[in-house]
Amino acid sequence: MSILLFESQYHPPTTFFTGIIGAEALRLEAQEHYRKQTYRNRCLLLTAQGVKPLTVPVVDGNRSEKVKTKDIEIDYRQNWVHQHWRTIQTAYGGTPYFEYYADYLHDIYVQKHTYLFDLNLAFLRFYLRCLRLRTPVELTTDYFPTYPTTTSAPHTVDQLSNTVVDCRDSLTPKVSVALEPDRKSVRPYAQTFGKDFVPGLSILDLLFMQGPAAGNFLV
């Protein structure tokens, strides 16, 4: 087994979770410099008008790339929580399991986390419970731009168990890419809008449609 290294993501896409299955641990990058226009503060939902991105505004967005991800503050001067929640309600209010999860999600929003990293972590822990994934979550304490790859078979059990698979920025919220088939595809399920299955959406889409059975679609 290996440790998967990902950046912190806001309502991650389903593909984020397909990769976790069977991993020894999930390691979140906390020491990197923040990067804009990524899943760090963005997610994709399916609405009646098609795929819609939701973006969490951050303080001093123009200078944010000089700040560590864990230190990025959310900008509550903008009424983004109300806007995001209203979009989620409009898109998924009629789904089979919206009421099943709505209160839990809303409670996380109203906590008004100061830091984006903490907000993302709260949602992530909730999703892992919903999907019945017991993968341990750990945070990086140092930043490494690259991780060494093992070119030959590990010689010890410890070497095998400590293998880090660098998945940082392997997923993108760009619609042109997000609509392509997932690397590890989620088994298609009925969605609220359209006739053709749309991959690459936030885990919210799968949870609201499949509820406790959502984990069975992470094939």
Q: How confident is the model at residue 156 (pLDDT cuts 50, 70, 90)?
A: very low
Q: How confident is the model at residue 201 (pLDDT cuts 50, 70, 90)?
A: very high
Q: Please, which residues have CB within 8 angstroms of residue 171's CB and are 6 or more apart in sequence? A: 9, 12, 13, 15, 16, 39
CA atoms 130, 131, 134, 139: torsion sign: negative
**Confidence check: pLDDT of 21 > 70:** yes
**Confidence check: pLDDT of 44 > 80:** yes
Q: What is the DSSP string of 66-133?
A: GSBGGGPBB-TTS-HHHHHHHHHHHHHTTSTTHHHHHHHHHHHHHT--SBHHHHHHHHHHHHHHHTT-
Q: Please, which residues have CB within 8 angstroms of residue 115's CB and are 6 or more apart in sequence? A: 70, 71, 72, 73, 74
pLDDT at 114: 98
pLDDT at 132: 95
* Residues 206 and 186: beta-carbon distance below 8 Å: yes
**Confidence check: pLDDT of 34 > 90:** yes
pLDDT at 162: 66
* Residues 26 and 138: beta-carbon distance below 8 Å: yes
Instruction: Pick the range with the lowest mean pLDDT from 121-125, 134-138, 158-162, 174-178.
Output: 158-162
**Confidence check: pLDDT of 95 > 50:** yes
- Largest Cα separation within the chain, whole Å, is 54
* Residues 118 and 8: beta-carbon distance below 8 Å: no
**pLDDT tens track for 107-155:** 999 999 999 999 999 999 999 999 999 999 999 999 999 987 544 343 3
Average of per-residue pLDDT values in the chain: 89
**pLDDT tens track for 52-82:** 999 999 998 778 778 999 999 999 999 999 9
Instruction: Pick the range with the lowest mean pLDDT from 160-164, 201-205, 206-210.
Output: 160-164
Question: Which token pair is 206?
Answer: 């799968």
pLDDT at 141: 94
**Confidence check: pLDDT of 158 > 70:** no
Instruction: Pick the range with the lowest mean pLDDT from 25-34, 117-126, 159-168.
Output: 159-168
pLDDT at 184: 62
